[in-house]
């Protein structure tokens, strides 16, 4: 992808924003897991962990594929 195009900068910005939001979500998620495990709700901790793994995978692959798609279209 050419570095002087606006699509490159927008894609990079969205990529960094999604990584920042994903790291914040990981922090909140692990805090929630610690609280649930301290209370003793192991089944709730397991169900939220599987839902979070699916959500983070879909979110990260979406932004990654959008970035690759823009990169391929520019070439």
Integer Rg of the chain from CA: 17
- What does the pLDDT read at residue 57? 74
- What does the pLDDT read at residue 30? 75
Residues 34-72: tens digit of each pLDDT: 777 777 766 666 666 667 777 777 777 777 777 777 777
- What does the pLDDT read at residue 28? 74
Residue pair 2/72 in contact by the 8 Å Cβ criterion: no
Report residue 45 as tokens: 């901790």
């Amino acid at each position: 992808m050419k570095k002087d195009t606006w699509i490159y900068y927008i894609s990079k910005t969205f990529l960094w924003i999604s990584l920042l939001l994903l790291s914040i979500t990981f922090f909140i998620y692990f805090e929630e897991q610690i609280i649930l495990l301290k209370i003793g709700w192991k089944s709730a901790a397991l169900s939220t962990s599987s839902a979070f793994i699916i959500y983070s995978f879909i979110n990260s692959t979406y932004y990654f594929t959008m970035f690759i798609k823009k990169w391929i279209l520019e070439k």
